[in-house]
Amino acid sequence: MPEPVQLSTPDTTVEKRTSWSWMKDAFIFTNLCFLILVAWSVVKYGDVGSALHSDNKPREDVLSVNPAVQVEFSEGGAVADFHLANLSDKPVRVVGTQMGCAVSILEDIPFTIGPSAKKSLAFSIQFPKEAVGETRLDILLFTNLPEQRQIPLVITGTLGKTRPR
């Protein structure tokens, strides 16, 4: 009986994907999709929170404001000016504020900003003479706008820097 003949076939290399490399690719793809979604919501709605709470409408601010002011404090305190602009064709009413004890508004509240009009809003800040260091004061403006009920404002500065000791 003749001996069996062994047939040889050329080696073929087949790349075998492990489950780890598949999971790594899926993880990268998922993160990339998430980042694109976040970037889109920031561009369309202004921030992710507004995108989540919108009714499929992009956020369009009716009342524009410079949200933060840096002030230099002197012995007599400081004054911070904010500039409001009504971007709509309807009047906007500022009906109230919420602020700390060191801040007082130099306007009568409530007030109205006419259509396409601008208004300056000044706040006076007073601290005890002994106060030193960086400070941040948060202020909220309340309006009659359903889409902008609250408008946050921030005043920052350094106490004691320009005061004689």
pLDDT of residue 165: 44
pLDDT of residue 110: 93
pLDDT at 50: 60
pLDDT of residue 47: 63
pLDDT tens per residue, range 88-116:
888 999 999 999 888 888 888 899 999 98
Residue 12 lies in a domain: no
**Domain stops at, among 7, 34, 53:** 53
User: Do 37 and 67 belong together in one domain?
Assistant: no
Instruction: Supply the pLDDT for residue 92.
Output: 92
d(CA 76, CA 50): 40
pLDDT value of residue 164? 47
Look at residue 163 in the predicted model and tell me its pLDDT. 43
Q: Tell me which residue of 95, 97, 93 sits closest to 105, measured CA to CA.
A: 97
Q: Residue 67: its pLDDT value, please?
A: 77
Whether residues 41 and 92 fall in one domain: no
Distance of CA 147 to the CA centre of its chain: 16
> Could you say which residues of the chain have pLDDT below 70?
1-20, 44-61, 161-165
- The answer on 114 and 96 residing in a single domain is yes
Examine the domain organization and report whether 28 and 86 are in the same domain: no
Reported pTM: 0.57
CATH number at residue 73: 2.60.40.10
- Clarify whether residues 103 and 140 are in a common domain: yes
Three-class HEC string of 103-145 = EEECCCCCEEECCCCEEEEEEEECCCCCCCEEEEEEEEEEECC
Hey, which residues does 137 pair with through a beta bridge?
155
User: Based on the domain organization, do 113 and 43 belong to the same domain?
Assistant: no
| Full residue range of the structural domain in which residue 43 is found | 19-53
**DSSP state for residue 83 in the 8-state scheme:** E
Domain count across the chain = 2
For 40, phi and psi rounded to 5 degrees?
-65, -45
Q: Is residue 75 part of a domain?
A: yes
